[in-house]
């Protein structure tokens, strides 16, 4: 589906919604980088502090050689500690929908880690994928794969989407595969709400950027100062929700249609699910994986789990 079709569907629904995947144009990705540097945004720094320990201990759970496959190759900040410490990782397959980003990222890493075989794969990582064949595997010697999905991006999927993603990943990775997954396990609601309502308003700008993007790409006429950012924790679903709330009654043009907003009506733009060890175990098991080991941050705000 195109951005336009998704916007037509979402904005004509009751309640209105837009997919968070549309946050990430160049400007949105820049705002997300700024979010990661905020004091209030605990997930990024907590995971970054945990990864060196994971990297130190990981090899004891791995076979002698593995190829690590990163789903949605982002900034490459998270893969580095693993590549520089693990002796078992011989190859790296970053998967991303954006070919340009992927090839730049792949080339940078190849320069830094000359012994590593880097083979980027362009594709939608939520679907099953045919992974590229590595030189390392040339004598038909198959090397087991280790999936890597850091950053608690799994939390932006509904539980059904998360299960589907984990199932598809298991199929793409093939027999004897393992999976290293970063998950937000924060339980303190005030801390969570603060992380998505930062004092500088960076998260608000990130959220509103979806309207900026629609104005530019879909010729809508959203007035940014007539919508407010709202992030609230939904206890029933254990997720923080982001919304854009219309401050007044108004109409916005989308294609040849008018979208009506009542005063106080919202567009639901993102969910970020927070897991407990028990809800996470149930989810991964329902997707065919077993928990092998958990590294938990001292604050318990974030976990890195190894699945097999
Ligand atoms: C990318 N994702 C894991 C972030 C999150 O925390 O759900 C996106 C984000 N939304 C608001 N702040 C950050």
How far is Cα of residue 241 from the mean position of the Cα atoms in its chain? 15
pLDDT at 103: 87
- The confidence band for 75, taking pLDDT boundaries of 50, 70 and 90, is confident
Q: 3-state DSSP helix/strand/coil percent for the chain, to nearest 5?
A: 40, 25, 35
Helix pair 3-11, 202-217: axis angle to 10 deg? 110
Give the rounded percent of residues in the chain with a pLDDT score beyond 90: 93
Residues 81-111 have pLDDT tens digits of 999 999 999 999 999 988 888 888 899 999 9
Segment 62-84 mean pLDDT: 93
Ligand 1 pocket test, pick from 44, 196, 239, 302 with the greatest ligand atom count within 8 Å of Cβ, gives 196
* pLDDT (average), residues 103-129: 93
Q: Which of 22, 272, 275, 301 to mutate to test the pocket of ligand 1 (most atoms within 8 A of CB)?
A: 272
Summarize the confidence of residues 164-169 as an average pLDDT.
98
Provide the pLDDT for residue 233.
Answer: 98
Position 299 confidence tier, pLDDT thresholds 50, 70, 90 = very high
Q: How far is CA 247 from CA 85, 139, 230, in A?
A: 51, 64, 11
- Taking the CA of residue 156 as reference, the ligand 1 atom at the shortest distance is 7
Percent of the chain with pLDDT over 70: 100
69-73, 150-154, 201-205: lowest mean pLDDT where?
A: 69-73
160 versus 98: the higher-pLDDT residue is 160
Cα dihedral 75, 77, 82, 83 in deg (nearest 10) = 70
Nearest atom (ligand 1) to Cα of 231: 11
Model pLDDT, residue 39:
97
What pLDDT, on the 0 to 100 scale, is given for residue 105?
85
Distance from residue 203's CA to the centre of ligand 1 (Å): 9
Q: Which fold has domain 42-187+275-307?
A: Rossmann fold (3.40.50)
* CB 272 near ligand 1, within 6 Å: yes
Predicted local confidence at residue 256, as pLDDT: 94
Identify the pLDDT of residue 113.
Answer: 96
Measured from the CB, is residue 150 less than 6 Å from ligand 1?
no
Q: Does ligand 1 have an atom closer than 6 angstroms to the CB of 203?
A: yes
pLDDT at 98: 84
Residue 46: exposed, middle, or buried by beta-carbon count in 10 A (0-12, 13-18, 19+)? buried
Question: What are the sequence ranges of the domains in the chain?
Answer: 3-39+190-273, 42-187+275-307
CA of 155 to the centre of ligand 1 (A): 8
The ipTM is 0.99
Q: Hey, is 235 helix, strand or coil?
A: coil
| Averaged pLDDT, 30-42 | 97
**How many residues are there in the chain?**
308
Q: Which residue has the higher pLDDT, 231 or 104?
A: 231
- Higher pLDDT pick, 279 / 74: 279
- Over range 121-131, report the average pLDDT: 93
- The pLDDT-based confidence of 149 (bands split at 50, 70, 90) is very high
Q: What is the pLDDT of residue 130?
A: 95
């Amino acid at each position: 589906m195109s951005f336009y079709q998704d916007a037509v569907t979402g904005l004509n629904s009751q309640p209105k919604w837009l997919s968070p995947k549309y946050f990430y144009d160049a400007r949105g990705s820049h705002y997300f980088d700024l979010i990661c540097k905020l004091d209030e945004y605990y997930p990024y720094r907590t995971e970054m502090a945990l990864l060196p320990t994971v990297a130190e201990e990981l090899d004891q759970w791995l076979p002698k050689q593995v190829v690590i496959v990163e789903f949605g190759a982002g900034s490459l900040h998270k893969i580095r500690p693993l590549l520089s410490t693990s002796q078992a990782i011989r190859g790296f397959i970053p998967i991303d929908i954006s070919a340009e980003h992927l090839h730049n990222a792949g080339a940078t890493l190849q320069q830094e880690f000359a012994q590593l075989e880097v083979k980027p794969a362009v594709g939608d990582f939520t679907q099953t994928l045919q992974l590229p064949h590595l030189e390392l595997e040339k004598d038909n010697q198959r090397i087991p794969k280790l999936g890597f999905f850091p950053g608690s991006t799994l939390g932006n999927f509904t539980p059904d989407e998360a299960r589907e993603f984990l199932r598809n990943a298991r199929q793409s990775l093939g027999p004897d595969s393992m999976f290293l997954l970063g998950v937000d396990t924060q339980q303190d609601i005030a801390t969570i709400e603060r992380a998505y309502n930062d004092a500088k308003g960076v998260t608000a700008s990130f959220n509103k950027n979806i309207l900026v993007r629609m104005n530019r790409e879909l010729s809508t006429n959203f007035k940014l100062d007539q919508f407010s950012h709202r992030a609230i924790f939904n206890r029933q679903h254990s997720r923080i929700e982001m919304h854009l709330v219309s401050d007044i009654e108004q109409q916005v043009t989308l294609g040849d249609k008018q979208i009506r907003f009542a005063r106080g009506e919202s567009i639901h733009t993102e969910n970020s699910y927070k897991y407990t060890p028990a809800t996470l175990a149930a989810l991964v098991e329902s997707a065919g994986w077993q928990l092998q080991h958990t590294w938990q941050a001292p604050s318990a705000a974030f976990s890195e789990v190894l699945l097999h």
